Copies of this chain bind each other. A is one copy, B any other.
């Protein structure tokens, strides 16, 4: 059964990005610290050559990083980038020069656009019909594997509030960002029941897993 999983790196004060996000500053001020645990892994550097990093370490985070059950991904417009509003001419094609995620990616947006199929990579599909339509498309594409909601706090909150998330994987990073994009900031969340899953202590991060009880 395909599950819907929210995977997010979060600061101790609850942010997934710092303030002043922009095309030049996609994670916001200080936000790049949230990805450091991942970027230093040899496994990450090998899987994502776009990052331009070699070498790296192997530690308790490696097994967490490699335990990737996803067959498709849903992200918000914010994570795909290119600012707000229509896509422009030439349109923004993502931060990465291709699709680095090795799975089909579905992007929630208000602005219609033809699918983008980077040469040799899995497609980016732009979905304007809302979160349920994106989930159905991603589930078909995942072909029995899980669907990951990445990056955007607002996309994940919509899925969570709609009762559609099955699991939340939080990579808790010991930094304060002070301001930015709050991961959990919705009064409606109090209706949701969680069950604590495994905890993995690793250098500079604690990996926490929670299951949503239906």
Contact = CB atoms under 8 A, between A and B. Distances in A.
B174 A196 contact: yes
Interface in A177-214: 177-179, 183-196, 198-199, 201, 204-206, 208, 210
A19 B189 CA distance: 13
Interface size bucket, A side? 35 or more
Nearest to A178: B190
A63 interface: no
B13 A185 contact: yes
Given A196-B204, A201-B199, A206-B199, A13 B189 contact: yes
A187 B178 contact: yes
Contacts of A174: 194-196, 210
Nearest to A168: B12
User: What 10 A-B pairs are tightest by C-beta distance, nearest first?
Assistant: A178-B190, A13-B184, A176-B189, A199-B201, A178-B187, A174-B194, A14-B14, A174-B196, A178-B189, A179-B187
